[in-house]
Structure 1
C-alpha cells in the first residue's frame, strides 16, 4: 500500500507498508548533501520497528503477536510518547492485559489496529504534532 499524504518535512513519515516491510521517509534535517537519489531519502525496514517523529528504532524484537511481552511494551514507555499505536499485523489483535499494563500504569494511551491502519494513523497524528509512537509488527 502506497501512502501519498503531504506532511511536515521534518518528521519521519511512513511512505509504504506491505508484508515485505516499511518504507519510511527521512526528516528533512537528516538529508545531507546535494543531488540525493530517492533511495537516499528513505529507510527500508524489513522487520518490526518503532517509528516516532524524530527517531526510528529498527531492532524492536517481537516479530509477531505471540512474541510480544511486557518488556517490549516497557521499551515504549521509556520513549514517553503521548500515544502508542500498536500495529498487530494484517488483522487487529488485542494483547493480554498484563502485556500492556506498563503503558496503562504510565498513563500512556494505546490503540490496537492492523499494521496498515497504524501506519496511516501515525502519519495523520504526527502531522498534527502529536507525540505518537507507532510500534509496528511486520507480518
Structure 2
C-alpha cells in the first residue's frame, strides 16, 4: 500500500502539538502561538491559561474567528471567567483542551473550512 502525504489547501497547517512544542508546516515551534488557516501569530505572550487576561485574546480576535480552540499545555486548564466572557460577548465560541486535543480539533475544523483560530500555550 502506497501512502501519500496530502497537504491542506491553506497556508498554515498544524501537524501536531504536545505540552512543549508544535509542528506547523515543517517548523517546530516551542513558544506560545496562534494559528488560523491563513495566519500564524508567533510569540504570543501567554504562558499560563489561569493568568490569561481578556486583552491577551486581541491577536486571536484580529483573525475574525467564529471559534477559538485554546490549547492550554500538557493538561487542560481553564482561563478565568473574564476571558471566557470576552469571547462569548463577541459571539465567538471558546473550547479549552490540552494541546494534543486542541491540535486534532483545530485540524479537523480547519479542514472543514470553518473560521477557526487555535491558541497554543507553552510554559516560559
TM-score by length of 2: 0.85
Tell me which of 19, 26, 29 is aligned to 1:45.
29
Tell me which of 98, 110, 119 is aligned to 1:114.
98
1:82-126 C-alpha deviation (Å, 9 max, x unpaired):
100010111112212112222111100110111110001111110
* Structure 1 residue aligned with 2:13: 13
* Structure 1 residue aligned with 2:70: 86
Matches of 2:48 and 2:113, distance apart in 1: 29
Q: Secondary structure at the match of 2:76?
A: coil
Q: Secondary structure at the match of 1:106?
A: coil
Whose radius of gyration is greater, 1 or 2?
A: 1
Unaligned runs of 5+ in 2: none
Equivalent residues of 1:74, 1:103 under 8 A apart? no
More helix by share: 1
Alpha-carbon offset, residue 18 of structure 1: 3.2
Work out which structure has the larger RCO, using CA pairs closer than 8 Å and 6 or more positions apart in sequence.
2
Equivalent residues of 1:86, 1:135 under 8 A apart? yes
Unaligned runs of 5+ in 1: 26-41
* Structure 2 residue aligned with 1:28: none
Q: Secondary structure at the match of 1:120?
A: helix
Equivalent residues of 1:77, 1:106 under 8 A apart? no
Number of matched pairs = 120
TM-score by length of 1: 0.77
